[in-house]
Each structure stands twice: as structure tokens, then as C-alpha cells.
Amino acid sequence: MQQSKKDPKLLSKQEAPKHEVSVVVFLRALLDVMPLSIAVIPWGILTGAIAIQIGLTPWQSQMMSLLVFAGAAQLSGMTLMAGSASPWSIFGTTFVISSRHLLYSITFRQHVSSLSLSWRVAIAFVLTDEMFAVSQTHTQRTGKFSAFYALIVGFGFYAVWNLATLVGILAGEYFDNIGALGLDFAIAATFIAMTFDKIRQWPIALTMLVSGIASILLKPYFADSYIVIAGLLGMFVGYFASSGKSPKNQNDELKGKNL
């Protein structure tokens, strides 16, 4: 009897994630995201506490982390809400802050385009800076993308973020001005932890250097948008640097020509 052949596209959409599921991958994903999850706890506490202090109910505060799940956008949105900003201002600001996720999704598209809609929606929901960084590192280390790994990393981080928000909500109801504790440093610490290992790569180091210098120089002139402008300048410089060759490689080529 002749065996029926399956459509390769249908097979990849229905069965690809199943081959990746294992206890080892599950535990590996949780362990890999744990350092960043711990680092973001003060940030989550601060987010929950500020939500209470601007007048949101505990239920509303927790739902914001459950549904929005975007720390920087949540903090900026709540700051604008406290200042009675218009809905369009809040939407525009949070959209710009979160626009970097478009770049993440473009990168992920080549890996998830063959997956079913439910898998793609689930991965998109938990796609954060931390999930992207950990998943990309795993892909580079193993040579292949694991949808199951990325999903566990994302939901593991999601669980810690919401637990930290809950702690902040409880703390915000009993303590005033919790922001004075300096918990906002966790925001910078988290991003430093994500990029520190990559700084050895010339394009990334140059991107960070240009963005940092540009933000300092532009702040007096563009108080509301200097960070966005500096980030774009850094990305452009980093892109052109990555498409070219590092100074070390260029020097090696010059030495070879002189021999």
C-alpha cells in the first residue's frame, strides 16, 4: 500500500512545536531567564506602587500588568495619567516607547512564520526586551530557534513581573512615596544586564557609545525626544558598522597588503 504524503507546510505548522517540547528545554528556559527576572522585580514593585498612588484600584493596577505587560510603557503611561494627559498623548507616547518591538517581531518572523496562529499569538504576547535577548542568545548558541523555549522564557518572565506588581500594589497601599527608595534604578540595571555580554561586538559597542553621547548632547535642545533621536542615531551607526568590517579586520587586511 502506498503511504499518503503529508503537505510539508501543513506538517510544519501543526507539528514543529511538538518536537521541541521537553522537560530539559522547559527547565533550561526558566534558568536562563531567571537573572533578568530577578533584576526586574524592583521595577515591577515600583510599577504596582505607582499605579496605586495615582489613583488606580488594586484590580486595575494588576490588570495593567496582566494585559499591557510593558514596563516602560506602563510607567510612562501612568505618569501621563497622573498629569491628566489626553488619551491621544498617552497612546502616542507609549506607542513610540514600544515601537522597538516592531524590530523584534521582524527578527522573529523568519522563525515563527511556519507556526500555527495560536503559537504566533502566544509568542507575540510575551515578546519583551528580556524574552527577545534570552531567546536570541539561545538561538545563537544552539544554531536553531525553539518556539517552546521562547514561550517558556516569555511566560516565566511574565509570571515574575506580575508577582512583583502584586507586591508593589500591596506596598503602595501601606507606604507613601515608595519611589524614593530608588527602585527605578532596576530599569537601567535590567537593560545593562541584557546588553553587557554583547558589548564585545564592535557594532553594538559603537551603537551604545553613539547613543549615549548623542543623548547627552541633545538633551538641552530636545528635552522631550532626545532619547528617541539618540537611539535612532545609534541604530543607524550600528547598522552601517555591522554591514562593514570592524577596525581590527580592516587593520589585518592592511597589514596583509603591506607584506
Q: Distance between CA 259 and CA 243 in Å, rounded?
A: 27
How many angstroms separate the first and last alpha carbons of the chain?
A: 68
CA angle 132, 137, 140 (to 5 degrees): 125
Q: Which pLDDT belongs to residue 84?
A: 81
Element (H, E) at 7: none
Range of the domain at 232: 201-247
44 pLDDT exceeds 80?
A: yes
Question: Closest Cα to residue 132, out of 109, 164, 159?
Answer: 109
Are both 92 and 116 inside the same structural domain? yes
Percent of the chain with pLDDT over 70: 76
Are both 144 and 219 inside the same structural domain? no
Average pLDDT, stretch 221-242? 81
9 pLDDT exceeds 80?
A: no
- 85 falls within a domain: yes
Task: Report the residue count for the chain.
Answer: 259
Are both 156 and 218 inside the same structural domain? no
Average pLDDT, stretch 98-103? 82
Give the three cell numbers for residue 38: 530577578
Q: What 3-state DSSP class applies to 70?
A: coil
- 256 falls within a domain: no
More confident residue, 82 or 61: 61
Are both 179 and 230 inside the same structural domain? no
The count of domains in the chain is: 2
53 pLDDT exceeds 90?
A: no
Give the three cell numbers for residue 169: 500594589
Question: Closest Cα to residue 50, out of 211, 187, 188, 218?
Answer: 187
For residue range 212-226, list pLDDT tens digits in order: 899 899 888 887 677
- 174 falls within a domain: yes
Residues in contact with 39: Cβ distance below 8 Å, sequence separation at least 6, in sequence order? 186, 189, 190, 193
- 12 falls within a domain: no
The number of beta carbons lying within 10 Å of the beta carbon of residue 188 is 10
More confident residue, 11 or 116: 116
Largest Cα span, the chain:
78
Are both 243 and 180 inside the same structural domain? no
Give the three cell numbers for residue 138: 539561545
Are both 230 and 172 inside the same structural domain? no
117 pLDDT exceeds 90?
A: yes
Are both 141 and 217 inside the same structural domain? no
For residue range 18-37, list pLDDT tens digits in order: 546 688 999 999 999 998 89
What is the value of pTM for the model shown?
0.69
pLDDT band at residue 192 under the 50/70/90 scheme: low
More confident residue, 175 or 14: 175
Specify the amino acid at residue 98. S
Are both 237 and 134 inside the same structural domain? no
Question: Closest Cα to residue 9, out of 132, 116, 161?
Answer: 116
Q: Would you say 146 and 25 are in contact if contact means Cβ atoms under 8 Å apart?
A: yes
Residues in contact with 229: Cβ distance below 8 Å, sequence separation at least 6, in sequence order? 214, 218, 222
Question: Closest Cα to residue 41, out of 195, 185, 137?
Answer: 185
Are both 211 and 116 inside the same structural domain? no
Are both 213 and 141 inside the same structural domain? no
